[in-house]
């Protein structure tokens, strides 16, 4: 079996080998670069020979021509040493191989050999620099170089490939199209093409998306005082960077004082001639933009008189003068040296013992005390700007004591000679008296010397010098010159020796005194003084200087340690915060000169915050001494608030910590708000008084240093309703039944505006009559006698009426009517009416309430027992539809045969009978009795009108009459008692059937609320909208046309109620009649 299978297989193989060749591998198309080696594969089974053909012609290989670059490989593949493409010879074409043997030939599939080429130059490309505007569309062309095969085209943006989007795309021709160019499209673009022959890139194109000029900040209108630096802001953006040009449209630009800082226009030391219209023009390649603003320069206040530093004794009056002028006239204020920043004094006002003159130029302090010492600021503000100067007031308990300018010196003289001892005293603060004393020895008591001395050879001259003629030996001793003044005492002693062999002493000339020392600078513990030598000093006289100084609390002058050869000196080791006075003497070999004039008081600086550098303080003082802020607007936002906006005239720096916002009234009321930082440019002032004239201004500050105030803005706040009601309401009832109502005025402060009149309301039982009068009185006529009215009065301004006064009762009845007295009776015999004293009413109501409560409990308990024992009544089927009238709406109000059912009109409507039990529904509905045949068992009953609360749309001005039994004066108890329920109870028909008298107060059924199905929260209280003290009262009245004499409930809305009319006739005269 195995041998047979093997034979069959060998037979099949032999049969197969005897056929034509079979192509095992067909050639594939190839794209190759020129001069690159390429192989076209071809493999066949059973082939004796393989040949290659190109475009129908047999390919000549190296076997046939050794010079050929085409080689036929043993396996049958065609190998190209290098592909060529020239005009003479090109390897490009369609190739196939043919395998053959003795049985036949087999042709392979076609394969294409393409020699790739790509030129170096683009046929069309974009410019190296392209500019376009944002929002425009642009196309960057790119026509690639010629090449085979067709090269692929790709765009790159800053080295990254561009992808197609809704806004950016590449056209069929290869152009890059960008729609609605944005700023981010600015970049470098390159068109890149590629095929098998290589890659080519276009010249890079720099695309710039230009932005037309637009303003981030436009110049705004500015009103500035003269003499300041004004900056007109103009900040614009554009791409490329624009050029900024400023022009003045209505005049010449102030050359020399105008410069451009960045894009802003800076005008220095502006004048009124600089007022005009200025335009900022911004231009670049994409376009041009322009904005303009108006500059208004007003004259700032001018300082005509600067205040001077003064020093006064405690208890004396001090006066500081400061004169400020300008157009418009500035408001002059004095800032007192207090931590309270509201310590401002306006002209004609005073605070404590400090007051300001009516013109504001003089600040007077009576009986100054040590606490009044400090720096006083004189501020002048107007809408043109502000000015600030300051003066130092030093209140001292005492002035410096006298100084002996030239005093006696030790002398040694011979007997018989004449001697003069000088004593010249300087006392600038108080007049001093000179006295001389003598004592032979130090341990002996002194003896006073004067013109009346017992020694005729000793005398005192008019210049207080002591003269001793014909000196004797017993004249030796100690001579003391003593100067006494209110400020202190000083003395100087000299020793006189009388010796027989003493030589003659020549009188030496002392140096001349220098000038008054001036303060150059100081700190906390040292001062730098400077002075000039006397004009009589010659150079050959060698001299130096000594400095003496005095401080508060010292009894004498002290000499500084240093000896100065120059005309300046630093006195150190001083105490911070103390006041010193200095003088200088010139000294040479002959002695010391007469003292110089005393310096002005110098107060050393207080210890400052160690965190503040000296340069910072100096810079802040310099920076804040000039106006740097301007108040641009003050707008009223509410009757009690104003919005302030401001601008800084120049860029702020660390020397400005914030601003103080001041509001000042004519009466001297000052409000100050602190706004920290310089980023804020507005502030809302709250809690202002209505109908008040305010002046607003601002003061920049840095720590405790306050700068120059800004310009001011003035306005008057709007009126408001009066804050209080008129008082002392008086009523006079006249014989002609007219009533005169008078009241007192309210103060101007409480009026909060201009009074335009008074609003008077006269109320009676919910009805109200309102009258507006101009004068503080009203004459009312046509009041019904025997009625009690309520009168209230309110003041009226343009903003509306204020609060009403307390209600005052007005009795329009006869003279014997019941009245309540309050206060005094006026001269005409009128009575001031007031609310009645309710003590008796309280005593009456308490037992009545308890009695009614007990009766109600008993009655409800009986009703519950009766209801549980009785059966439900039988009613007609037409009224028993549960869908329309639920069982709980059929209420047994009066017994077995007394039923309450909906009316016939409700049966055919969609209105549920539940409406009968909701009084807030604006309609009146009536219960109808069940119609039955009268028989012996039928009981009498009466229908009850269910009352709804009064509608707010109804007119309640119609008075209604209460028909009492014998009351002549009908009191509106609703103004004093709690209001009755809006749903009145039905009548007790048992009393009605018995013929009871129903005059007097209503008799309330205990289960009336249950029968009427009116819960307390559903019953609204009837009241008058015009008066919170009057109420609608439900009373029983007998109708004019009532059948069978049955009573029912009526209100003031019933037609049968008699109307009361009140007529008020204000008089036109100024005084009440």
**Longest C-alpha distance within the chain, in Å?**
191
Query: Above 70 in pLDDT, residue 1019?
Result: no
pLDDT digits (tens, 9 = 90+) for 430-442: 788 888 888 888 8
Query: Within a 10 A sphere around the Cβ of 127, how many other Cβ atoms?
Result: 12
Task: Lowest mean pLDDT of 397-411, 671-685, 966-980, 1038-1052, name the range.
Answer: 1038-1052
Geometric angle at alpha carbon 152, from 149 and 154, rounded to 5°: 165
Q: How far apart are the first and last CA of the chain?
A: 160
pLDDT digits (tens, 9 = 90+) for 194-228: 988 889 999 999 998 998 999 999 999 887 777 77
Residue 447, SS3 per DSSP: strand
Residue 1045, SS3 per DSSP: helix
pLDDT digits (tens, 9 = 90+) for 246-298: 999 988 888 889 999 989 999 998 888 898 999 999 999 888 999 999 998 88
Q: Which two tokens stand for residue 506?
A: 């020549």
- Residue 1023 has what DSSP assignment? B
Q: In whole angstroms, give the CA distance from residue 594 to residue 586.
A: 8
Are 961 and 1058 contacting, i.e. CB atoms less than 8 angstroms apart? yes
Q: In whole angstroms, give the CA distance from residue 710 to residue 720.
A: 30
Query: Within a 10 A sphere around the Cβ of 1044, how many other Cβ atoms?
Result: 6
Mean pLDDT of 317-338: 88
Higher pLDDT, 104 or 464: 104
CA distances from 36 to 80, 112, 119 (A): 8, 16, 17
Query: Above 60 in pLDDT, residue 911?
Result: no
CA distances from 716 to 640, 691, 751 (A): 11, 6, 15
Mean pLDDT of 1031-1043: 38
- Residue 704 has what DSSP assignment? T
Q: In whole angstroms, give the CA distance from residue 276 to residue 223.
A: 11
pTM of the complete model beyond 0.85: no
Helical spans, DSSP H, in 304-347: none
pLDDT digits (tens, 9 = 90+) for 45-102: 988 899 999 998 989 898 888 888 899 998 899 999 998 888 788 888 999 999 999 9
Query: Above 70 in pLDDT, residue 592?
Result: yes
pLDDT tier at 593, thresholds 50, 70, 90:
confident
Residues pairing with 33 in the sheet = 116
Give the pLDDT score at 978: 54
pLDDT tier at 699, thresholds 50, 70, 90:
very high
Q: In whole angstroms, give the CA distance from residue 513 to residue 530.
A: 14
Task: List, in sequence order, every beta strand (DSSP E) within 898-1040.
Answer: 899-900, 925-926, 945-946, 1035-1037
Portion of the chain with pLDDT greater than 70, in percent: 74
Mean pLDDT of 766-775: 88
Q: In whole angstroms, give the CA distance from residue 365 to residue 352.
A: 9
Q: Which two tokens stand for residue 272?
A: 């009124």
Under 8 Å CB-to-CB from 809, ≥6 apart: which residues?
788, 789, 790, 791, 820, 833, 834, 835, 836
Are 226 and 299 contacting, i.e. CB atoms less than 8 angstroms apart? yes
Task: Lowest mean pLDDT of 310-319, 643-652, 806-815, name the range.
Answer: 806-815
> Nearest Cα to 248, choosing from 266, 274, 225?
274
Give the pLDDT score at 1022: 37
Task: List, in sequence order, every beta strand (DSSP E) within 572-692.
Answer: 579-588, 591-592, 602-603, 629-638, 641-648, 658-665, 670-676, 682-685
> Nearest Cα to 496, choosing from 472, 520, 521, 513?
472
SS3 labels along 643-665: EEEEEECCCCCCCCCEEEEEEEE
pLDDT tier at 1053, thresholds 50, 70, 90:
very low
Rg (CA), the chain: 59
Q: Which two tokens stand for residue 645?
A: 């906006």
Per the document, the length of the chain is 1073
Geometric angle at alpha carbon 139, from 138 and 140, rounded to 5°: 125
Q: In whole angstroms, give the CA distance from residue 487 to residue 398.
A: 6
Residues pairing with 71 in the sheet = 79
**What is the CB-side half-sphere exposure of residue 119 using CA atoms within 13 A?**
10
Q: Which two tokens stand for residue 919?
A: 């009084």
Query: Within a 10 A sphere around the Cβ of 140, how many other Cβ atoms?
Result: 21
Q: Which two tokens stand for residue 1003?
A: 């008799």
Under 8 Å CB-to-CB from 610, ≥6 apart: which residues?
none
Q: In whole angstroms, give the CA distance from residue 765 to residue 976.
A: 11
Residue 879, SS3 per DSSP: helix
* Average per-residue pLDDT for the chain: 76
Higher pLDDT, 939 or 603: 603
CA distances from 293 to 237, 279, 384 (A): 19, 7, 19
Q: In whole angstroms, give the CA distance from residue 215 to residue 232.
A: 13
């Amino acid at each position: 079996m195995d041998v047979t299978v093997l034979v069959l297989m060998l037979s099949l193989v032999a049969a197969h080998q005897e056929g034509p060749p079979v192509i095992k591998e067909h050639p594939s198309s190839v794209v190759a670069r020129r001069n690159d080696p390429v192989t076209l594969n071809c493999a066949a089974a059973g082939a004796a020979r393989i040949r290659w053909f190109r475009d129908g012609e047999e390919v000549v290989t190296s076997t046939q021509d050794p010079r050929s670059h085409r080689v036929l490989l043993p396996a049958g593949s065609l190998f190209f040493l290098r592909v060529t493409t020239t005009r003479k010879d090109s390897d490009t074409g369609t190739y196939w191989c043919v395998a053959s043997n003795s049985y036949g030939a087999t042709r392979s599939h076609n394969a294409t050999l393409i020699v790739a080429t790509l030129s170096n130059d683009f046929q069309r490309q974009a410019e190296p620099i392209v500019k376009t505007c944002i929002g425009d569309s642009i196309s960057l062309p790119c026509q690639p170089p010629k090449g085979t095969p067709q090269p692929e085209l790709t765009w790159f943006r800053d080295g990254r490939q561009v992808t197609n989007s809704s806004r950016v795309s590449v056209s069929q021709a290869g152009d890059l199209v960008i729609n609605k160019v944005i700023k981010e499209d600015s970049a470098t673009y390159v068109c890149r093409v590629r095929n098998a022959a290589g890659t080519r890139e276009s010249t890079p194109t720099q695309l710039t998306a230009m932005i037309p000029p637009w303003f981030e900040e436009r110049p705004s209108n500015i009103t500035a005082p003269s003499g300041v630096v004004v900056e007109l802001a103009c900040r614009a953006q554009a791409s490329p960077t624009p050029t900024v040009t400023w022009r003045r449209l209505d005049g010449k630009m102030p050359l020399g004082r105008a410069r451009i800082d960045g894009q802003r226009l800076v005008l220095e030391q502006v004048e009124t001639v600089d007022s005009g219209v200025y335009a900022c023009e911004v231009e670049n390649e994409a376009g041009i933009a322009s904005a303009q603003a108006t500059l208004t320069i007003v004259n700032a206040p001018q300082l005509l008189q600067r205040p001077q530093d003064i020093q006064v004794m405690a208890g004396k009056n001090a006066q500081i003068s400061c004169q400020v002028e300008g157009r418009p006239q500035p408001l002059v204020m004095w800032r007192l040296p207090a931590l309270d920043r509201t310590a401002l004094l306006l002209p004609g006002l005073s605070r404590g013992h400090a007051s300001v003159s009516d013109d504001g130029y003089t600040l007077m302090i009576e009986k100054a005390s040590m606490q009044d010492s400090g720096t006083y600021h004189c501020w002048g503000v107007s809408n043109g700007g502000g000015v600030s100067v300051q003066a130092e007031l030093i209140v001292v308990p005492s002035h410096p004591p006298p100084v002996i300018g030239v005093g006696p010196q030790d002398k040694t003289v011979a007997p018989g000679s004449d001697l003069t001892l000088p004593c010249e005293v300087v006392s600038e603060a108080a007049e001093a008296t000179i006295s001389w004393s003598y004592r032979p020895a130090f341990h002996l008591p002194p003896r006073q010397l004067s013109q009346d001395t017992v020694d005729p050879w000793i005398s005192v001259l008019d210049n207080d010098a002591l003269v001793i003629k014909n000196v004797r030996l017993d004249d030796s001793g100690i001579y003391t010159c003593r100067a006494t003044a209110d400020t202190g005492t000083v003395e100087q002693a000299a020793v006189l020796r009388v010796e027989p062999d003493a030589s003659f002493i020549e009188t030496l000339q002392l140096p001349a005194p220098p000038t008054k020392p001036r303060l150059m600078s100081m700190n906390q513990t040292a001062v730098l003084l400077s002075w000039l030598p006397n004009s009589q000093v010659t150079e050959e006289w060698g001299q130096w200087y000594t400095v003496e100084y005095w401080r508060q609390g010292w009894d004498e002058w002290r000499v500084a340690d240093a000896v100065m050869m120059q005309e300046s000196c630093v006195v150190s080791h001083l105490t911070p915060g103390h006041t010193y006075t200095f003088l200088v003497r010139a000294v040479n070999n002959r002695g010391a000169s007469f003292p110089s004039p005393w310096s002005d008081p110098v107060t050393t600086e207080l210890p400052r915050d160690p965190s503040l550098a000296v340069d910072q303080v100096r810079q802040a003082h310099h920076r804040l001494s000039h106006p740097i802020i301007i108040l641009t607007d003050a707008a009223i936002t509410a009757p009690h608030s104003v919005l302030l906006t401001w601008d800084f005239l120049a860029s702020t720096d660390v020397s400005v910590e914030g601003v103080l916002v001041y509001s000042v009234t004519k009466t001297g009321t000052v409000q100050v708000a602190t706004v920290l930082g310089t980023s804020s440019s507005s502030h809302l002032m709250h809690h202002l008084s209505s109908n008040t004239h305010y002046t607003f201004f601002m003061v920049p500050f840095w720590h405790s240093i306050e700068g120059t105030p800004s310009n001011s803005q003035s306005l008057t706040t709007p009126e408001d309703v009066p804050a209080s009601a008129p008082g002392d309401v008086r009523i006079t009832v006249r014989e002609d039944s007219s009533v005169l109502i008078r009241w007192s005025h309210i103060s101007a402060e409480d009026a909060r505006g201009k009074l335009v009149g008074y609003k008077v309301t006269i109320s009676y039982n919910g009805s109200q009559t309102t009258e507006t009068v101009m004068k503080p009185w009203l004459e009312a006529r046509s009041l019904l006698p025997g009625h009690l009215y309520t009168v209230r009065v309110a003041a009226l301004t343009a903003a509306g009426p204020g609060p009403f006064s307390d209600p005052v009762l007005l009795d329009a009845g006869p003279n014997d009517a019941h009245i309540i007295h309050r206060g005094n009776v006026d001269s005409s015999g009128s009575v001031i009416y007031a609310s009645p004293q309710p003590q008796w009413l309280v005593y009456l109501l308490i037992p009545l309430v308890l009695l009614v409560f007990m009766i109600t409990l008993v009655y409800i308990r009986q009703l519950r027992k009766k209801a549980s024992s009785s059966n439900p009544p039988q009613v007609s089927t037409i009224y028993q539809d549960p869908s329309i009238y639920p069982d709980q709406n059929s209420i047994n109000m009066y017994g077995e045969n007394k039923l309450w059912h909906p009316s016939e009109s409700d049966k055919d409507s969609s209105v549920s009978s539940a409406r009968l039990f909701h009084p807030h529904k604006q309609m009146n509905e009536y219960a109808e009795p069940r119609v039955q045949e009268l028989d012996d068992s039928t009981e009498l009953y009466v229908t009850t009108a269910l009352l709804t609360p009064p509608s707010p749309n109804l007119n309640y001005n119609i008075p209604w009459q209460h028909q009492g039994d014998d009351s002549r004066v009908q009191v509106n108890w609703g103004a004093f008692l709690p209001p009755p329920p809006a749903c009145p109870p039905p009548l007790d028909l048992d009393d009605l059937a018995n013929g009871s008298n129903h005059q007097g107060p209503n008799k309330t059924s205990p289960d009336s609320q249950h029968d009427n199905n009116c819960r307390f929260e559903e019953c609204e209280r009837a009241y008058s909208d015009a008066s919170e003290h009057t109420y609608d009262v439900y009373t029983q009245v007998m109708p004019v046309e009532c059948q069978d004499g049955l009573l029912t409930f009526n209100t003031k809305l019933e037609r049968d109620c008699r109307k009361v009319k009140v007529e008020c006739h204000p008089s036109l005269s100024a005084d009440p009649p």
